[in-house]
């Protein structure tokens, strides 16, 4: 039992060290993949779009760096910022989401 417990501890320790050493690469990779997902974001509910929505709702964020990242996407030119960025779903109209100045007050800004 002690050997098994020691092995599990060693695996956790190695995983933690590797994660710490490669944290910048992990962050850069995550950001670049999220930027690609924003670029290809659409309302057809594909897996990447669902993942972006889930990330934004769960982490209370919007875009990669901030909500203005959406202004450089095709989706923004058609529909504005996605509803998954809204702080309050009931107080977030499509008109608000199409205007970055109004959206700043209604969506998560970071």
CA geometry: angle 88, 91, 97, nearest 5 deg: 95
Q: Roughly what angle, to the nearest 10 degrees, separates helices 23-39 and 47-59?
A: 120
pTM over 0.95: no
- The partner residues of 107 in beta bridges, in order of sequence, read 86
Taken as a whole, the chain contains a residue count of: 110
Condensed to tens digits (0 to 9), the pLDDT of residues 11-69 reads: 999 999 999 999 999 999 999 999 988 888 985 568 889 999 999 999 999 999 999 99
């Amino acid at each position: 039992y002690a050997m098994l417990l020691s092995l599990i501890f060693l695996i956790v320790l190695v995983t933690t060290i590797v994660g710490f050493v490669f944290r910048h690469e992990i962050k850069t990779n995550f950001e670049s993949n999220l930027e690609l997902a924003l670029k290809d974001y659409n309302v057809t509910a594909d897996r990447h779009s669902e993942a972006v929505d889930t990330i934004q709702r769960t982490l209370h964020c919007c875009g990669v760096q901030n909500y203005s990242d959406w202004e450089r996407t095709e989706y923004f030119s058609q529909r504005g910022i996605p509803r998954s960025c809204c702080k309050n779903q009931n107080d977030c109209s499509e008109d608000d989401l199409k205007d970055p100045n109004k959206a700043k007050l209604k969506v998560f800004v970071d």
